[in-house]
Structure 1
Amino acid sequence: MCTGAGSAVQRVFGLLGKRWTGMVIAALMGGPIHFADLRHAVPGITGRMLSGRLAELVATGVVVRNVDPGPPLRVSYCLTATGEALRPALVELGRWAEGHLPDGEGGAQS
């Protein structure tokens, strides 16, 4: 018998299933980081896309945005306690990928 995904699973993948979101969170797991450095830490993401993903993560309480006093004015981001609570799940997903996904591909191994 097939069962449907529960609403909690739908909510988590509604957030984490968006392109770049997992990579942004993974980059933030190293600690607070400025916007420009975060953009370099996530190769291929545009500034506009990064801004959008960060705004979404801030709105959901996963990330906090800090304005560093200037000059020059700089903005940094870090995970909240809620965001840090994702660490074990993301580490396990990484382990799963290492064991079950070939490098550079999205398909499963035979």
Structure 2
Amino acid sequence: MKQLTHQQCLGADAALSRAFSLLGKRWTAVVLGTLGTGGPTGFRELSRAVGGISDSVLSDRLTELTQAGLITRTVDAGPPISVTYALSERGAALMPAFEQISTWAQEHL
């Protein structure tokens, strides 16, 4: 059996740890999944679609996901001014992994 060095383990775990530190937060997967199936959505519509999430938590998650480059925030000058959120290319690339995790969870949890 091949022995892994401590550095090899740290390198492999670092990327996964970074991913789960963001994606493991409550509501994050639901927000991403909603945007993945519903397309570009405004804050109110997203809040209703997710259901049960407070406005402050939704705002926090949208900010974090925007900063991570997983979603885009588009402001339409209007009138009236409107803001829509959508998956970015990076966010869309995550959807197949979410589908696989969902399948795994249905079978094993």
The TM tier, using the shorter chain, reads 0.7 to 0.9
CA separation in 2, counterparts of 1:25 and 1:75?
17
- CA apart distance, 1:96: 1.3
Which residue in 1 is equivalent to 2:79?
A: 71
Aligned amino acid, residue 88 of structure 2: T
Percent identity of equivalent pairs: 46
Aligned amino acid, residue 9 of structure 1: L
- CA apart distance, 1:93: 1.1
Which residue in 1 is equivalent to 2:105?
A: 97
Aligned counterpart for 2:60 among listed residues 25, 44, 52: 52
> TM-score scaled by structure 2?
0.84
Aligned amino acid, residue 16 of structure 2: V
Which residue in 1 is equivalent to 2:15?
A: 8
Moved over 3 A (4+): none
Question: How many pairs align?
Answer: 100
> TM-score scaled by structure 1?
0.84
Aligned counterpart for 1:42 among listed residues 31, 34, 50: 50
Aligned counterpart for 1:21 among listed residues 28, 41, 45: 28
- CA apart distance, 1:99: 1.6
Aligned amino acid, residue 33 of structure 1: T
Q: Cα RMSD between the aligned structures?
A: 1.6
Q: What are the superposed Cα offsets for residues 8-42 of structure 1, whole Å, 9 maximum, x if unpaired?
A: 11000011011111111001102111111110111
In structure 1, runs of 5+ residues without a counterpart are 102-110
In structure 2, runs of 5+ residues without a counterpart are 4-8
Instruction: Write 1 or 2 for the structure with the bigger share of helix.
Output: 2
